Amino acid sequence: MLEMVKGCYVPCADKLKEEYMIDKCYITANVNASKIEEIIQHFIIIQKELIFFILELPANAVAEEKIQTDKPVSLHRDVYYIDGLTNEQALILFMKYKELLINDGLCRFGFGVQDNSAEIMLNEYNIMTFWTNNMQKYSMFFDTHGIHITDNYISAWDTFSSDNPGQCKSVTVNDISVYDLPEKLKEYGMYFAETR
């Protein structure tokens, strides 16, 4: 059974386990909540180039109304970045807000390499995605954390139905929510990039 983060609920979590699959330049993995911190730290530590931080938040209702069309589409996200971080700066930022970032069920966040060679993201329902243009270098990344490849990857999304939907919610840590982060992280150089 997959150990879920505080902001996500999966009714059939007993059908999920830590595992990953590789599809061309993407690795998609189910990760126990207790391992997310070490995996993000590992990614940051091994980089030799400058790093960026990415934060994706659900667009606010006013912005969503302006964007929506008559066609049913998924909800949009506001995307924020911090560029040019050293390993040390990225680790400091992550360690300061890790509990909030990891446990919030509505945000997506991650780190990438400025030279555009790799990026790791934590998405809803403990799903981590890892993009790289150097799969040979990173193909065993999750194995070092006891998470192994499978030919039959099952994500939380595969278990949902109208009778058993997943649920995501926002959390607060020390009275701070992820919606406070764009303002709080301006000191690190956070900027709004786009709504997508």
Q: Using DSSP bridges, classify how beta strands 167-168 and 8-9 pair: parallel, antiparallel or unpaired.
A: antiparallel
Closest CA to 31 of 111, 99, 122, 96: 122
Q: What pLDDT score was predicted for residue 58?
A: 95
Higher pLDDT, 75 or 179: 179
What is the DSSP pairing of strand 51-58 with strand 26-30?
A: unpaired
- The mean pLDDT value for 176-184 works out to 97
* pLDDT, mean of residues 160-175: 95
Q: Tally helices (H) and strands (E) across the chain.
A: 5, 10
- Is residue 123, in this structure, part of any structural domain at all? yes
Q: Distance between CA atoms of 39 and 31, rounded to whole angstroms?
A: 9
Confidence of residue 75 (pLDDT cuts 50, 70, 90): confident
Q: Which residues contact 14 (CB under 8 A, 6 or more apart)?
A: 1
Domain residues for 160?
Answer: 8-195
Question: Residue 182 domain-assigned?
Answer: yes
pLDDT at 66: 58
Task: Count structural domains, the chain.
Answer: 1
Q: What is residue 9's predicted lDDT score, i.e. its pLDDT?
A: 96
* Mean pLDDT of the residues in the chain: 93
